[in-house]
Amino acid sequence: MTRSLYHLTSVEAAEALEESSVAVLPFGSVEQHGPHLPNGTDSIAARLVAAEVAARLGALLVPFGPYGITPIHAGHTGTVSLRRATFEALLTDVCDEMVAMGVDRFVLVNWHEGNIAAMDAVATDLQDRHDHVYVIAAHACYVAQRLYADQGGELTHGGGLEALAVLAYDPDLVHTERAGDSTRPEKAAAMDAMRRSHEVYGFITDVTEIDSDGWYGEPGWAASQTAGDFAGVVAADIVRQVEAIFELRT
């Protein structure tokens, strides 16, 4: 069972933290996802997976908020981006409050790539200031990409994996019949691979550089999958890796 700070009383929260000093925080964004998926797709995916991770770890789920750092989608209706300084200040405050309550291990479950640099900055600062605190970042979008690759799942913006996550949350929010075909510039696929390289990479600051319509992928692929398994499949793999890292730190 997932125990969320939102839903517990003060007494219940104290009891939960006595049982486990681990907090799980989800991170996503609010940004356009084409005509077929909700603006909150990334936050929906992160919350689904984080809730399952928290339940499997026996940890406390600590909601962070729906918004992320997403200037790449500026100008598209439905996009609300935080400045990096705002995001980092909010995350720092939330984590410091949780440390004061007794949390000494954090698992940051993220679905939005634009949040990564800010999350890493706050995590390293938090550990530096609190020598008994340890932070793990789990990018659920990359885990899902690996786990569903053999079935044809791709990590695109508004494509199959993101449609699958929303189907797992509420099928009524997915309208693949409205998607049509996205319009990709000639070098879009290569540009997308370039920005995600772990070795040498450049940056994309406007989503239209990789798709003229602001989304791309095959959302219809999700219909071939069992959406109800999505959170459990991704969370199980994250928990496996988290527990291995915790073991290293003992």
pTM: 0.96
Identify the structural domains of the chain with CATH numbers, from first to last.
3-249 (3.40.50.10310)
pLDDT over threshold 80, residue 56: yes
Shortest CA distance to 98 belongs to which of 82, 118, 67, 122? 122
Mean pLDDT of the chain: 96
Tell me the longest C-alpha to C-alpha distance in the chain: 58
Three-state SS at 19: helix
d(CA 61, CA 74) in angstroms, rounded, equals 30
Q: What is the pLDDT of residue 151?
A: 96
29 pLDDT band, cuts 50/70/90, is: very high
Adjacent-strand bridge partners of 3? 60
Mean pLDDT throughout 105-132? 97
Adjacent-strand bridge partners of 68? 81
Q: Average the pLDDT over each of 128-137, 205-214, 230-239 and give the range with the smallest value.
A: 205-214
Three-state SS at 67: coil
Detail the DSSP E strand segments found in the chain.
3-4, 22-27, 60-61, 105-110, 134-139
d(CA 18, CA 58) in angstroms, rounded, equals 11
Over residues 62-82, the pLDDT tens digits come to: 999 999 999 999 999 999 999
Adjacent-strand bridge partners of 23? 60, 106
